[in-house]
């Protein structure tokens, strides 16, 4: 019985390891930047402003973050800043 549980647990760990590994190797910087730029465009258009995804740029982020995405509207006062972590999660830092 113990042997079956050990084999099942090992199999589960292999499946989870492959899933996490696949997620990490298939994520791309382009996907992360696009997700932040889409949020920026949506927020600006809700406020009646003209916005384009080309208003955004990215650079490597310091610390635990992976990327820092900055979107500057043409003629707009607000600058949008996003942080993307190693798992691809995007957080809008400003404006809140």
Structure tokens at 57: 């740029």
CB atoms within 10 A of CB 81: 17
pLDDT score recorded for residue 29: 86
Where helices occur in the chain by DSSP H, the ranges are: 2-26, 29-46
Dihedral of alpha carbons 33, 84, 41, 59, sign:
negative
pLDDT score recorded for residue 70: 94
Structure tokens at 82: 């996003």
pLDDT digits (tens, 9 = 90+) for 12-70: 999 988 887 777 777 788 888 999 999 999 999 998 888 899 999 999 988 888 899 99
Name the pTM for this structure. Answer: 0.71
pLDDT score recorded for residue 96: 63
| Residue 75, pLDDT above cutoff 80 | no
């Amino acid at each position: 019985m113990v042997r079956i549980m050990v084999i099942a647990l090992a199999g589960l760990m292999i499946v989870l390891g492959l899933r996490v590994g696949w997620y990490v190797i298939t994520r791309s910087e382009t996907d992360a930047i696009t997700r932040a730029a889409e949020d920026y465009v949506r927020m600006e258009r809700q406020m009646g402003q003209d916005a384009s995804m080309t208003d955004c740029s990215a650079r490597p982020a310091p610390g635990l973050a992976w990327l820092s995405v900055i979107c500057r509207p043409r003629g707009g006062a607000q600058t949008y800043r996003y942080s993307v972590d190693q798992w691809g999660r995007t957080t809008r830092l400003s404006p809140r």
